[in-house]
Amino acid sequence: MAHETHSKTLPADLSAPAVVDTWKTRALIVGVIFAVIAVILGFLGQGQDGLGWNHLLRGWLLGLTLTFGFAVGGLAMLMVQYCSGGKWGLLLRRPLEAMSRTLPLVFLFWIPIAIWQGKLYMWANHGIVDKALSLGQITQEQVTAIDHYIHFKAPMLNPVSFIWVNLICFAIWGWYTWRLNSLGLKRDADSAGNTPYWIKKFENISGIGIVIYSVTMTVAVIYWVMSLDVTWYSSVYGLLFLVGQGYQVLAFSILIALSLSQFEPIKTLLRQTEQHDLGKFTFAWVMLNIYIAFGQFLIIWSGNLPEEINWYLDRIRGGWGIIITLDFIFHWLIPFTLLLSRDLKRNKKRLIRVCQWMIFAKAFDLFWLIEPSFKDASRNLHFSWGILEYIAVPVAMLSFWVVYFAIQLKSRPVVQTNDPHLAEILEPEHAHA
Amino acid sequence: MPPREGIYGLLAEFDTPSDLVRAAQKSYQDGWRRLDCYTPYPVEEAAEAIGFHRNKVPLITLIGGLMGLTAMFLLETWISTLAYPINAAGRPTYSWPAFVVPAYEWTILWAGLSACYGMFALCGLPEPYHPLFNAPNFRTGATDDKFFLCLEALDPKFDLMETRAFLETLEPVSIVEVEY
């Protein structure tokens, strides 16, 4: 008997299914509702403790970091895919491209932070230090230490450098986004004979791109998040965010690919093998994420130096112990135990649930990183209307980001066709009766 | 146990995994339960075709991993708090963060060893003698490029003539009678 092949053929229409428009509409509604809630909470918080608008800005910072993770992290994952190759890329490339093209929106999100640096960063506005001292939130000794660090780090941490360095970073990410996205279309328009040339070309751009991304991304998160506590530093900080971006980007892009797979053309393309592979890949990121997060903690805990340990004490004592415990459970324990299961990784619905959970867990982790940096909240977890801004503002921002993402996803076919793996992914899995 | 004698089963040889899977499915539908597939590389569909969906290796691995975790964590706790309580930079003797790394390593070690040896045990290995190796085509082909289906004599449906006739309907390359 001859060995029969049952290769599938790709549908003629490769454009994104109509469901993307539904996502867009829904996200828009959610975004508007939560934006209104954020404003109301701002007024409530302002009346309660005078920190309402300040909390709104902190929530905004969380939203910026999260959407930045999707946009620039998506770009980085795209570059990793071009370097590594593999059939999973066919499912994710176009969603990742669309994520990278949301950079202009992230830039818009960045502008308020640049304008109101003085509300967030001690190095931008010494009034924050003075106010904390007058309220008894910090001691004179701490002020001396803070002033020392502000002075020492001034060449990097000052309002002018903040804006220029960030603009340069955005320009670099923008260039890579434009380059990879425009070449992506050119590659598809080209004949199959030129594929090896394109593979090499993308490899060459992406290889250096990953290195440059790692450096610029580290700089950005040092400015945005780490410098909230001007006294503290950690050399693994950039890597921590880099891995965190891999974590959230993979969760989001799997979510998109699996949701698209209910409709053509991804329906034809998605096989259980690649879904399983993506699940395993996600599992690796979950593991690496806790490895680095715990590694940083273990080293600082072992050293027990007064310059470093306070950053953790700010985030453990005064009720924050509950948050860090929940963070550990949400961020690692739950995805880890669930993703251990082979059946779950091969089940679309359940894998989607895990991915949604991971995006929530990432936001929760950012809350734990950001809020205790402020002296009114460090070692003092307490409820205020303002703290709810950490839900309202990021949800609104993420929803508007999804709207923009959906527009970008719609603008191109959802499958790259000029790829040698395409024939393979259309073949049946293993043997078939 | 005295050496078993007689027929172990009938061995059908196929050229492709698809043919094997098709034949295995038909045999299973025909009511065969004592049957097995032999392939040079893993063909999951063949395992599914003969009603073999689950194995206990994941469970053994999980239990092994948890045992490793518990064992090392308790060992370190015992050493640090009871056996050799040393003052290390003023930390409490029960300093769990320091115990995590070795406990994690032992989780992996035990899980890995459990997976490996659990798989051996569940496969019935080591097995120095297996009657199928009496079939010359099996000896050369099973690890190379041939796909085999064996209907075993222990199955109540087994009858030398009828079973051979049934196997012939599956159009194998050859059918070999295998002795114990």
B128 vs chain A: nearest CA distance in angstroms? 31
Q: Is the ipTM of this complex over 0.90?
A: no
Tokens of A127: 């009034």
The residue among B16, B18, B66, B99 with the most chain A CBs within 10 A of its CB, best to mutate, is B18
Question: What is the overall mean pLDDT for chain A?
Answer: 91
How far is Cα A255 from Cα A258, in angstroms, rounded to an integer?
5
* pLDDT tens per residue, range A125-150: 999 999 999 999 999 999 999 999 99
CB A377 within 8 A of CB A312: no
Q: How many alpha carbons fall within 13 Å on the CB side of residue A34?
A: 23
pLDDT at A5 over 70: no
pLDDT at A212 over 60: yes
Residues of B near A (Cβ–Cβ under 8 Å) read 15-22, 25, 43-46, 49, 58, 62, 89, 91, 97-98, 100-101, 171
How far is Cα A390 from Cα A384, in angstroms, rounded to an integer?
11
Q: CB-CB: which of B18, B62, B91 is closest to A433?
A: B18
- The confidence score (pLDDT) of residue B52 equals 79
- The confidence score (pLDDT) of residue A146 equals 94
Torsion of CA A306, A308, A311, A313, to 10 degrees: -50
Q: pLDDT band for position A1 (50/70/90)? A: very low
The string of DSSP letters for B52-98 reads ----SHHHHHHHHHHHHHHHHHHHHHHIIIII----STT--S--HHH
pLDDT at A3 over 70: no
More confident residue, B140 or A34: A34
Contacts of B46 in chain A (CB under 8 A): 431
* pLDDT tens per residue, range A260-287: 988 888 887 788 888 999 999 999 999 9
Contacts of B98 in chain A (CB under 8 A): 298, 302
pTM reported for the whole predicted model: 0.89
The alpha carbon dihedral of A167, A168, A169, A175 has a sign of positive
Tokens of A130: 């003075």
CB B129 within 8 A of CB B78: no
pLDDT at B127 over 80: yes
**Crossing angle of helices A237-260 and A19-49, rounded to 10°:** 140
C-beta atoms of A3 and B18 within 8 A: yes
Per-position b or e across B25-34, b if 16+ CB within 10 A of its CB? bbbbeeebee
pLDDT-above-70 percentage for chain A: 98
Is A291 near chain B, with CB under 8 Å? Answer: no
Rg of chain B, C-alpha, whole Å: 25
Strand partners, B176: B11
Is A297 near chain B, with CB under 8 Å? Answer: yes
Give how far Cα A341 sits from Cα of A41, A276, A359, B107, Å.
41, 10, 20, 17
CB A245 within 8 A of CB A108: no
Q: pLDDT band for position B1 (50/70/90)? A: low
Tokens of A433: 């009766």
The alpha carbon dihedral of B73, B74, B80, B83 has a sign of negative
pLDDT at B121 over 50: yes
CB A261 within 8 A of CB A425: no
HEC readout, A358-379: HHHHHHHHHHHHHHHHCCCCCC
Among chain B residues, the shortest Cα distance to A433 is held by B22
CB A335 within 8 A of CB A286: yes
pLDDT at A2 over 70: no
Contacts of B43 in chain A (CB under 8 A): 430-431
* pLDDT tens per residue, range A356-403: 999 999 999 999 999 999 999 999 999 999 999 999 999 999 999 999
More confident residue, A105 or B41: A105
Give how far Cα A365 sits from Cα of A66, A132, A258, A369, Å.
10, 25, 25, 6
Q: Give the A:B interface size as CB pairs under 8 Å.
A: 43
Is A304 near chain B, with CB under 8 Å? Answer: yes
Tokens of A416: 């790259």
Cite the DSSP H helix spans in A85-115. Answer: 88-100, 103-115
**Range in B3-7, B65-69, B128-132 the model is least confident about:** B3-7
pLDDT-above-90 percentage for chain A: 78
